[in-house]
Amino acid sequence: MVSFPPCKINLGLHVINKRPDGYHNLETCFYPVPWTDILEIIHSKTFGFSSSGIAIPGAWEQNLCVKAYRLLADQFSLPPISIHLHKVIPMGAGLGGGSSDAAHLMRMLNDMFELNLSQEVMMQFAASTGSDTAFFIQDDPMLGKGRGEILSRINIDLPGKFLVLVNPDIHVSTADAYAGVKPGNPAVPLDDILKLPLDDWKNLLKNDFEHAVFEKYPAIGDIKDKLYSLGATYASMSGSGATVFGIFEKDFEAAIKFPNTTVWVGTL
């Protein structure tokens, strides 16, 4: 069984306050993007995990796919499988690729072993593996609150728009990103902003991580400026970085505009 886990961008990201458990309450819109990894699972006599494509650092036992399998295997006494992950989505890039891989593995296990789990139940399992993993259990834009695991549907009308994702070779630690943020309630709720025309987003739709990240890594802020200079209607950093995206009214050859980066271009 093969699946193609997509990534996501954040349309706005507000850091509201710090919680007693050390996490932060957030407000963001997760929007799915069809830049995908490739995930395959097959029946096997013994459990196995392998990967190709972008090298995955660390021990394979710590991979979110392995953790997701073991979570459901322990709960439902699943037999062993063999997992192969072909990694395409850059890691540590604010795109949620690892979370998507884990969520899609759960979705595949649900189908392969006929567990008949509802989306709501799978989301509960997924939330235990990561703050944004639950979002990838379904395929629609969602408003995320809490750590990002409290999800509700939101209607966003972006058909026919072109998306450019630019990922520089810069690692932004989540700790550094949070260290520069001053939490607070936004002046305008995120869902109210997203109801406005795309042309109005530039001055209203903010990612609270940008100020500190751009100050420490000016090259990331330069990418956002360049996307606007090339005609983006809206541009922003995704998550805590370092990927920056631009939404355009028409397509163009973006790769040649951003040397020494990984660029993806597609339609929304």
DSSP SS3 for 250: coil
Q: Tell me, what's the pLDDT at 257?
A: 83
* Res. 32 pLDDT band, cuts 50 70 90: very high
Q: Which residues pair with 167 in a beta bridge?
A: 262
Cβ atoms 139, 223 nearer than 8 A: no
Would you state the structure tokens that stand for residue 213, as one six-digit string? 């990240």
3-state DSSP call for residue 1?
coil
Q: How far is CA 18 from the centre of its chain?
A: 21
Cβ(170)–Cβ(214) under 8 Å? no
Q: Which of 231, 236, 233 is nearest to 254 (CA)?
A: 231
2-6, 146-150, 196-200: range with highest mean pLDDT: 2-6
Kindly state the DSSP code that residue 256 receives in the 8-state scheme.
G
Residue with tokens 């072909």: 86
User: Which of 101-115, 143-157, 170-184 is least confident?
Assistant: 170-184
Q: How many residues does the chain have?
A: 268
Question: Could you give the maximum distance between any two Cα atoms of the chain, in Å?
Answer: 56
CB 83 within 8 A of CB 65: yes
- Which residue(s) pair with 2 in the sheet? 40
Indicate the pLDDT class of residue 19, thresholds 50, 70 and 90: confident
Q: Looking at the predicted structure, is the pLDDT value of residue 264 above 90?
A: yes
Question: What's this model's pTM, rounded to 2 decimal places?
Answer: 0.94
Query: Could you give all domains of the chain from N- to C-terminal order, each with its CATH number?
Result: 2-153 (3.30.230.10), 162-267 (3.30.70.890)
Q: Which of 89-103, 105-119, 174-188 has the lowest mean pLDDT?
A: 174-188
- Structure confidence by residue, pLDDT tens digits, 203-258: 999 999 999 999 999 999 999 999 999 999 999 999 998 999 999 998 877 767 89
In this predicted structure, what is the pLDDT of residue 209?
A: 95
Nearest alpha-carbon partner for 35 in 259, 267, 244, 258: 267
CB atoms within 10 A of CB 258: 18
Calpha distance 10→238 (Å, rounded): 5
Can the peptide bond before residue 212 be classed as cis, meaning omega within 30 degrees of 0?
A: no
pLDDT value of position 120 = 95
Provide the pLDDT for residue 157: 78
Please state the φ and ψ torsions of residue 100, each to the nearest 5 degrees. Answer: -65, -40
Question: H-helix or E-strand containing 150?
Answer: strand 150-153
Q: What's the CA gap between 213 and 172, in Å, rounded?
A: 8
Give me the pLDDT at residue 21, please.
84
The per-type count for the chain, helices as H runs and strands as E runs, is 7, 12
Q: What integer best gives the mean pLDDT of the chain?
A: 93
pLDDT in tens, 53-95: 999 988 999 999 999 999 999 999 999 999 999 999 999 899 9
Task: Count CB atoms within 10 A of the CB of residue 36.
Answer: 18
Which two tokens mark 162? 């072109």
Q: Which residues are part of the catalytic machinery?
A: 8, 132
**Statement: residue 107 has pLDDT above 80:** yes
Provide the pLDDT for residue 178.
86
